[in-house]
Amino acid sequence: MKIEPSMGLNYYQIKKNVRKARKLVIQGTTSAGSGHPGGSFSMAEIVGVILFKYLRHDPKNPQWEERDKLILSKGHAAPGLFSNLAVAGYFDESELLTLRKFGSKLQGHPDLKCPGVEFCGGSLGIGLSFSIGSAMAAKIDGKDTRIFTIMGDGETDEGQVWEAAMTGSKYKVDNLTAILDRNFIQQDSYTEKVMPLDEELVGDNLSEMWKDASRWKTGDKWRSFGWNVIEIDGHRIEQIDNAIKKATSTKGLPSIIIARTIKGKGVEHMEDNPQWHGKAADPDIAPIIDTELDCQFMIAPSIIAGDMSNLENEVKRCVHGRADYIHLDVMDGQFVPNKTFDYTKIKELRPLTVIPFDTHLMINDPGKQIKNYVDAGSDIITVHAEVCDESSFGEIHDYLKQNQVGVGLAINPDTDIPNWSYKFLPTLDQLIVMSVVPGKSGQKYIESTHEKMNQINSVLEQNNFQGYIEADGGVTLDNIGSCFHDGARIFVGGSAIIGQQDVRGVITEFRNTTLLARRKLLLKKANDLGGTELVKKWIDLHKIGEKKQQLMKIATEAGFL
Ligand code: DX5
Ligand code: ZN
């Protein structure tokens, strides 16, 4: 099967694949006892978006003549490449367990004997030159091949990178998109200590100043070499997506996406800690990390709780607040008594941001209107089980998947997951479990939802649900922790977020409170698996910032120490 861009996966599928790939990185490196999880995780979303959305390739025919090429210049992050190639179908996921073993095609650095690998990376600094050569050769051959090259920031200490930068610009290599994985850490230390790209770091604190985009100078360097520069948050799938779209449509000069990333992203104790550049997690720690990777969570403010006469401003407040999603409650005055807005409003709001639009349709006959909501720019559309059956939902499901839009199903407080929906659960992206009777924001959370979640979780597990549960209705700082323990990973906040003055501050509080719940869950897992000793070992891994003290406090309160 040829993978054309039009067949790319939707946002949620990419997210789920990246999650799976991160888990495989841990399995592989832990079984090898060595390897590079840190840099594999900083580029995880970047590889995911390229491979699952933009790259024209064929996992069943890796040598397909017309394919695009993904070049991993920072070859030490091989586990991050191999795991995504496995998820894409180049080889079986279980092969990750042979990583770095004698005779395996998955070695410590990418080698051409592994299908899907285009470049033997590892000798740093040469991937960009190789990529420019490949891109120019494709042009000479009259092909429309595109080259995507991922470089490390430490790697750009090499002089050859800057020779390549001049060459790419001189020859206007516009079929090349370079991505700089700007995680600020290289093998021995912080990049800004070894050879600053932005500013010299004095001391050891990779503090907020390095996360402050206004102080970045790396982009200016590339601009001065004649490149089209796009700067983004390299863990936001929607920003990577948008940047690649822009880069690949820019003609006459090469493009580089400078992606601010976090080394070790996704595993708290690895994040921003140089030690995890090239070291594997211990086998007794790996199952806890595996759970942690399942526990990524997202905050989705619901704008109807704000000023309905100025929803543009509400969207802007979400953007400023760094929301993960924007939850759009569509009410038709029939399925629920209230009326809010319809697809015409969503279409007007769409240009304001690339943050995913999480459209929740509280309307009758959703199938009739689904196309309008896709065209308006929704990233996911959730319809209610109460107004669907197997056949109508099946049509909606297929239509959304074909159009790269996520598929969601919502159930009211009095509704159970219907039997007819079981067959869709493995491919469902989101399940909204309503914790208020839908119709308006500002209602109180229905406590019995917690009990209901127990049954729901067993149905989901039996039916291989891989998506995200969204808690919607009456979610507050007081109950978000228990919603997290129930299994919810996306949290809608109407009155508790948009109804507040300081949206950014409240979202931060939502995140911190959920993080506490997650830490507690992971400490419990450590305690279940290995008692106090493993709890202590887990806590000790958390070296950066204040995490350690906070974990000690939670573990002491929970009686694990
Ligand atoms: C309920 C909507 C919810 C709700 C969220 O009908 O689906 O999204 O408005 O608002 P709060 O968080 O205030 O319940
Ligand atoms: Zn909603």
Residue 2 has pLDDT above 60, yes or no: no
φ, ψ of residue 257 in degrees (nearest 5):
-100, 120
The separation between CA 326 and the C-alpha centre of its own chain, rounded to angstroms, equals 16
- Within this chain, domains 11-281 and 298-500 share the same CATH topology: no
Nearest CA to ligand 1 atom 9: 441
Q: What is the mean pLDDT of residues 258-285?
A: 93
Return the domain boundaries, the chain.
11-281, 298-500, 501-561
Ligand 1 pocket check for 274: Cβ under 6 Å: no
Ligand 1 pocket check for 379: Cβ under 6 Å: no
Cβ partners under 8 Å of residue 98, min gap 6: 104, 105, 106
Cβ partners under 8 Å of residue 544, min gap 6: 206, 269, 271, 272, 273
Closest atom, ligand 1, to C-alpha of 474: 14
On the 0-12 / 13-18 / 19+ scale of CB atoms within 10 A, 469 is buried
Give the distance (Å) from ligand 2 centre to CA of residue 406.
Answer: 15
Q: Band of the pLDDT at 216, cuts 50, 70, 90?
A: confident
Give the distance (Å) from ligand 2 centre to CA of residue 403.
Answer: 22
Ligand 1 pocket check for 115: Cβ under 6 Å: no
Q: Band of the pLDDT at 5, cuts 50, 70, 90?
A: very low
Q: CA of 263: how far to CAs of 79, 185, 424, 553, in Å?
A: 14, 7, 36, 26
Distance CA 176, CA 158 (A): 20
Q: Band of the pLDDT at 329, cuts 50, 70, 90?
A: very high
- pLDDT digits over 15-73, tens only? 999 999 999 999 999 999 999 999 999 999 999 999 999 999 999 999 999 999 999 99
> Angle at the Cα of 356 (from 211 to 67), degrees rounded to 5?
85
Q: What is the mean pLDDT of residues 96-105?
A: 95
- pLDDT digits over 147-158, tens only? 999 999 999 999
> Is residue 150 a contact partner of residue 81, using CB atoms and an 8 Å limit?
no
> Angle at the Cα of 329 (from 493 to 239), degrees rounded to 5?
70
Ligand 1 pocket check for 475: Cβ under 6 Å: yes
Q: Please provide the distance, in angstroms rounded to a whole number, between the alpha carbons at the two ends of the chain.
A: 54
The separation between CA 201 and the C-alpha centre of its own chain, rounded to angstroms, equals 29
Ligand 1 pocket check for 494: Cβ under 6 Å: yes
Q: Where are the beta strands (DSSP E) in 197-305?
A: 228-233, 255-260, 298-301
Distance CA 521, CA 555 (A): 10
Q: Indicate if the alpha-carbon torsion angle 448, 450, 453, 454 is positive or negative.
A: negative
Residue 533 has pLDDT above 70, yes or no: yes
Distance CA 345, CA 347 (A): 5
Q: Say whether 316 sits in a helix, a strand or coil.
A: helix
HSE, CB side, 13 Å, CA atoms: give it for residue 91. 19
Single-letter residue type at 48: G
Q: Say whether 492 sits in a helix, a strand or coil.
A: strand
- pLDDT digits over 485-531, tens only? 999 999 999 999 999 999 999 999 999 999 999 999 999 999 999 99
In angstroms, what is the C-alpha Rg of the chain? 24
Give the CA dihedral 537, 543, 546, 551, nearest 10 degrees.
-10
Domain 11-281 sits in CATH at 3.40.50.970
At the top level of CATH, the class of 298-500 is alpha beta
- pLDDT digits over 419-438, tens only? 999 999 999 999 999 999 99
Q: Which of 457, 488, 491 is nearest to 474 (CA)?
A: 491
Q: Which of 479, 469, 468 is nearest to 443 (CA)?
A: 479
Distance CA 487, CA 514 (A): 12
